[in-house]
Structure 1
Amino acid sequence: MPIVVMDHTPSNIEQYGENVDLVLAGHTHRGQIFPGNLITKAVFVVDYGQYQEDASSPNVIVSSGAGTWGMPMRIGSNNEIVSINLNLN
């Protein structure tokens, strides 16, 4: 069975070793309000999307999320719910 880690923020992805297959994170809201996305890109290795450093590293998927923080609005980023299908073969 694959090992999947759900982590609130993608700031600690380097702590997961070869035994983790997939890391799911959010928190960044992809900046939520432009130019916040420029800040999240500077702070996190991956602030949005799919990332894998090398073949022995886990896949990382960071969602912009469905909600907001602070003001209930988004400018320059979309909200989303990500659907992931795992192949267990």
Structure 2
Amino acid sequence: MINNTFQEVEAALILRIPFAQEPHADFLAWNGEPSGEYTVRSAYKLLQNLNPRAYTLQNIYKDFYRKLWRLDLPTKIKITIWKIT
């Protein structure tokens, strides 16, 4: 089933995952935090690490957006400008 569902490289990685030695209940864990709990902050940090160029562009536009939100314009227009940039 794994070989039919995934590409060869991914299937090989999945099949290398060891089984638990002792039975235990399943649980969700997030690797972005030492506690294993998901937070928006940890996901944001992960995305920054995955695409540092996007984060750099965000810093470049920071002043532009700050000025945009301070303009005396209807919110609808500000949001439209924000979406097209």
TM-score, normalisation: structure 1 = 0.22
